[in-house]
A and B are shown apart, each in its own frame.
Chain A
Amino acid sequence: MVEKKYQPALDIFDKMLHGKLKTHLNSCVHCGLCGESCLYYLTHKEDKYIPGKKVDLISAIYRRYYTLLGKTVPKWVGAKDLNDETVAEMVDLIYGACTMCGRCSMHCSIGVDIAFLVRAGRSMLVEINKVVPGLQSTVDAALNTGNNMGIPRDELIDTIEWIAEDLEMELDDEKATIPLDKKGAKVLYTLNPREPKFFPLSISAAAKIFYAAGEDWTLSPDAYDVTNYCYFSGDDKGGAVITQRLVDKVAELGCETLVLAECGHGFRGNRWEGPNYINKSYPFNEISIVELIVEYIREGRIKLDPAKNTKKVTIHDPCNMVREGGVIEEQRFILKQAVSDFVEMTPHGVNNFCCGGGGGQLAMSEYAERRIKVGKIKADQIRATGAEIVVTPCHNCIDQLMELNKEYKLNVEIKTIGEIVADAIVI
């Protein structure tokens, strides 16, 4: 028997217990070899950070309530009750010591999807109101205001208008604009709320690319947030509400394609998880701006001059877009056209190390110290390339990279793909 207050966690676990979850709960052989694949263990060298230990937090509970040996001789199989102690441990490690980057999963001896199990553990914690407060407040802001930073509608429109005015002046063309809520536009574009708040240049860069490509596009001040922090918190119901907003807006405006702004988890949340939150496929196309830029280049709709970007550039791969999202070569294709000196990090692509800001870590100030410490791996990777500019198609990663830049004195510029493309564009 579990304490009544923890029963909802077991109820949701029971609902999630299909083939995939059963598989991964039963697969770990406790070899511990995954330690060296995880930025937390590599940084802290403490046993509790070994990914297999994080797996065990959830599988021990599974064994206790669902297996014969776990029910009868729990100590024998390391089965554990769901109680105050195990819940506290789960919160600390499942939220506070995992970015759900999936690096350990890809390298696990067996093939245990550790990040998937961590997400399942987070879903259990959602049901007993144990989401870390910082993360929960970001989720609440998104659910209550329509964007995770709680930006008022008027403030957003003001920001967009002055960006559009600047763009019109820069390009000396009144057609260079940012259309809002344009019915029948082909493309509905999204934003990470950090863009209007702190990085207006990213919006301006995207607008310039759309202008150069002659795209028929629009933005909606009522549904633009590409992020879905419910993916990180483990809240599928909230995830469905956020997903549905964009789905409804595409339908209302009659757009053909939803274009996802540069945000790793936003890409994953909308592209891969969103249809499963709402239990249906999207009736429209969905593509990331990175993939769309590749199309523009291929179709000759935009021309890039690498001579306009002569500084040495490297790329940071956002885990949710690359290893867990399948957008791997696209950004490399773009950079090879947009810059004259491109260098890869070691390792990179699907083997990249997380910057440390994923998994909702940037929203959890409770674990800020850990986040900066584990980011040293990324900082060292960047330094080793000798690059002057780090490009990444993710605003979440950008925030973390900016903090790493300061903390580890990297002295680099940090840009989005859109910004580096906008710098190289020939109009």
Chain B
Amino acid sequence: MNIYHYILLTASIICFLASLRQLIQALNKKGDLDYAEPKGTANPAISYSFTNAMSPKKKETAFLHLPTYTAGILFHIGTFLCIFLLAVNFIGFNIPEKIGYVIVAIMAVSIISIIAIFIKRIVNAKSRVMSNADDYFSNFLIIGFQVISCLAILMDNLLPLLFIYASVMLLYIPLGKLKHTVYFFAARIQMGRFYGYRGVWPPKRNKI
């Protein structure tokens, strides 16, 4: 372990604890007790909330905006892959060259997707009106993270830069827009609870 490892480890722990706190607070039912007689149950609806309800077959924001939705899915896959690579690099595991090239290819698709979304945020009037500095910065932070992760596969000497960059990103996650990493899960769970309790999700076509 060198100094960069320690910096990354510290940032990861801070990010993890802050995010965990946010998640616990978000899912805490105290104060949100429901006294109404339920018509359904939460768990199947929560599963539905994370699966079919998110699919382009059901979700208008997906099927009416298929290119954006697809780019969004791709770059999120890329981001999680980068976090996995970061962990791999942290423990000092050497990625075999051929697998490295495959990862770089996947990452290239992800980077193109996130850059496309970034450009859309800048040039599309509707997206621009929705955005604040934090939105652009968060987007930019993830582009940088993916690009450096990708380059670090090809160039070992970039690992210190990757560790420092990732540390900054991890420390920013609980503060700005990137906290949706946690709140996305909380929101889907809350939505599942709500529609499940009321018997709306999962859909029961022609059944009463």
Question: Within 8 Å of chain B (Cβ to Cβ): is A408?
Answer: no
Which segment of A198-206, A220-228, A275-283 sits at the interface? Answer: A275-283
Query: Using Cβ atoms and an 8 Å threshold, which residues of chain A touch B40?
Result: 326
Query: Using Cβ atoms and an 8 Å threshold, which residues of chain A touch B5?
Result: none
Cross-interface CB contact of B26 among A26, A32, A35, A324, cutoff 8 Å: A26
Query: Using Cβ atoms and an 8 Å threshold, which residues of chain A touch B49?
Result: 111
A residues 70-85 near B (Cβ < 8 Å) are 75-78
Closest residue to A105 on the B side, CB-wise? B191
Query: Using Cβ atoms and an 8 Å threshold, which residues of chain A touch B204?
Result: 328-329
Q: Are B133 and A29 in contact (CB under 8 A)?
A: no
Query: Using Cβ atoms and an 8 Å threshold, which residues of chain B touch A35?
Result: 126
B3 CB, min distance to chain A CBs, angstroms: 27
A374 CB, min distance to chain B CBs, angstroms: 17
B155 CB, min distance to chain A CBs, angstroms: 32
Query: Using Cβ atoms and an 8 Å threshold, which residues of chain A touch B59?
Result: 107, 109
Inter-chain CA distance A328–B132, complex, in Å, is 39
Q: Are B184 and A110 in contact (CB under 8 A)?
A: yes
Which segment of A45-53, A305-313, A395-403 sits at the interface? Answer: A45-53
Q: Are A107 and B61 in contact (CB under 8 A)?
A: yes
A residues 29-44 near B (Cβ < 8 Å) are 29-37
Inter-chain CA distance A33–B200, complex, in Å, is 23
Q: Are A29 and B61 in contact (CB under 8 A)?
A: no
Query: Using Cβ atoms and an 8 Å threshold, which residues of chain B touch A350?
Result: 200, 203
Question: Within 8 Å of chain B (Cβ to Cβ): is A112?
Answer: yes
Question: Within 8 Å of chain B (Cβ to Cβ): is A162?
Answer: no
Query: Using Cβ atoms and an 8 Å threshold, which residues of chain B touch A105?
Result: 191
B133 CB, min distance to chain A CBs, angstroms: 5
Question: Within 8 Å of chain A (Cβ to Cβ): is B205?
Answer: yes
Q: Are A272 and B198 in contact (CB under 8 A)?
A: yes
Closest residue to B126 on the A side, CB-wise? A32
Question: Within 8 Å of chain A (Cβ to Cβ): is B207?
Answer: yes
Inter-chain CA distance A329–B205, complex, in Å, is 7
A31 CB, min distance to chain B CBs, angstroms: 7
Inter-chain CA distance A300–B199, complex, in Å, is 25
Inter-chain CA distance A112–B180, complex, in Å, is 11
Inter-chain CA distance A128–B133, complex, in Å, is 31
Cross-interface CB contact of A50 among B130, B187, B198, cutoff 8 Å: B130
Which segment of B30-38, B78-86, B98-106, B157-165 sits at the interface? Answer: B30-38
B residues 56-81 near A (Cβ < 8 Å) are 59-62, 64-65, 68-69, 72
A377 CB, min distance to chain B CBs, angstroms: 14
Q: Are B186 and A27 in contact (CB under 8 A)?
A: yes
A136 CB, min distance to chain B CBs, angstroms: 26
Question: Within 8 Å of chain B (Cβ to Cβ): is A24?
Answer: yes
**Binary B-proximity of A277-292 (CB < 8 A = 1, otherwise 0):** 0111110001000000
B89 CB, min distance to chain A CBs, angstroms: 28
B70 CB, min distance to chain A CBs, angstroms: 13
Question: Within 8 Å of chain B (Cβ to Cβ): is A20?
Answer: yes
Query: Using Cβ atoms and an 8 Å threshold, which residues of chain B touch A274?
Result: 36
Sample of 26 A–B contacts (CB below 8 Å): A22-B26, A23-B183, A27-B183, A30-B130, A30-B131, A30-B177, A31-B61, A33-B61, A47-B125, A50-B129, A77-B133, A77-B176, A108-B61, A110-B184, A111-B187, A111-B188, A111-B191, A113-B187, A275-B34, A276-B35, A276-B36, A278-B35, A279-B35, A281-B36, A326-B198, A350-B200
